[in-house]
């Protein structure tokens, strides 16, 4: 995890997310906002942390699309082990069963303030509404409001470290996407798109997040004579080219933003 310093006493958070970029960005933002944070990559790893009793969370943030143990089943196993509030987090709306099992839901990207507002709502405390942030993601590479917030929370070198990690992750996912497109593997393309949308959205990399959202919805349906449905990828070459451009734009942004 990135290095940071806890600044004030706030509820302890257990963050469960298998996507490295999402996990690191969320952990950094929450910790620099004062929240003690422990992270787990899987549901099984989170249960191990809770069994060890070395860390007693007040809030559990769990991604809605974890591999292995996940969703309502994971929440059911967490409940006897802690009195923490359990919030589902995702870049897309989770299934009704998970929403019913969780204490609340946060759509990625979210801020520390929006998480605290949900906690306050659960406990009956009042919190000022978070200001609405309107931005056309097609016009910018990185949301300047989120970039400014990160700069307020941590040194410029740490902010750059976040975006360097995003660029490295996107480059790896681009190679995986190219392989999935070659195989016409719609399921894998959508899975990778969802991860890109969530991780980049949390860091305000809105151009890449928009492309991830497009990939998440990829594929057109073709009904077969036997009643089955086959999905075909549409405009995949252009979307991959757009993602390459987004990676290049992020690199250029880093050079301009952190040149000094």
Q: pLDDT tens, position by position, for the chain (260 residues)?
A: 444 434 446 889 999 999 988 898 888 888 888 889 999 999 999 999 999 988 889 999 999 989 999 999 999 999 999 999 999 999 888 889 999 999 999 998 888 888 888 887 776 554 444 444 444 444 588 988 888 888 888 888 889 999 999 999 999 999 999 998 888 888 898 899 999 999 899 889 999 999 998 888 876 555 556 665 455 566 777 888 889 999 999 998 888 888 76
Cα separation values, 224 from 14, 228, 230, Å: 46, 5, 7
pLDDT at 234: 67
pLDDT at 8: 43
- For the chain, residues classed under CATH 3.40.50.2300 are 13-123
User: Quick one: fold of 144-257?
Assistant: 1.20.120
pLDDT at 220: 57
Q: Which residues have CB under 8 Å from 233's CB, separation 6+? A: 181, 184, 186, 189, 218, 219
pLDDT at 111: 80
Architecture of domain 13-123: 3-Layer(aba) Sandwich (3.40)
- For the chain, residues classed under CATH 1.20.120.160 are 144-257
Axis-axis angle for helices 156-182, 206-216 (nearest 10): 30
Q: What are the two backbone dihedrals, phi and then psi, of residue 37, each rounded to the nearest 5 degrees? A: -130, 130
């Amino acid at each position: 995890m990135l290095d940071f310093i806890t600044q004030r006493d706030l509820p302890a958070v257990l963050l469960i997310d298998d996507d490295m970029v999402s996990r690191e960005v969320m952990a950094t933002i929450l910790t620099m906002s004062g929240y003690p944070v422990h992270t787990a990559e899987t549901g099984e790893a989170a249960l191990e942390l809770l069994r060890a009793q070395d860390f007693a969370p007040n809030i559990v943030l769990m991604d809605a699309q974890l591999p292995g143990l996940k969703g309502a089943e994971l929440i059911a196993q967490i409940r006897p082990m802690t009195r923490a509030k359990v919030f589902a987090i995702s870049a897309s709306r989770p299934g009704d069963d998970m929403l019913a099992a969780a204490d609340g839901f946060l759509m990625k990207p979210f801020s520390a303030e929006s998480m605290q507002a949900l906690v306050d709502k659960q406990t009956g405390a009042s919190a000022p509404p978070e200001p609405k942030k309107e931005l056309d993601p097609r016009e910018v590479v990185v949301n300047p409001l989120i970039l400014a917030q990160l700069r307020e929370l941590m040194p410029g070198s740490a902010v750059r470290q976040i975006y360097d990690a995003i660029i490295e992750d996107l480059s790896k996912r681009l190679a995986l996407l190219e392989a999935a497109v070659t195989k016409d593997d719609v399921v894998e393309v959508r899975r990778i798109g969802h991860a890109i949308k969530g991780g980049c959205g949390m860091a305000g990399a809105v151009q890449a997040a928009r492309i991830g959202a497009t990939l998440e919805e990829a594929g057109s349906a073709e009904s077969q004579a036997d009643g089955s449905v086959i999905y075909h990828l549409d405009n995949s070459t252009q979307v991959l080219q757009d993602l390459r451009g987004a990676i290049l734009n992020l690199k250029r942004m880093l050079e301009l933003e952190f040149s000094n």
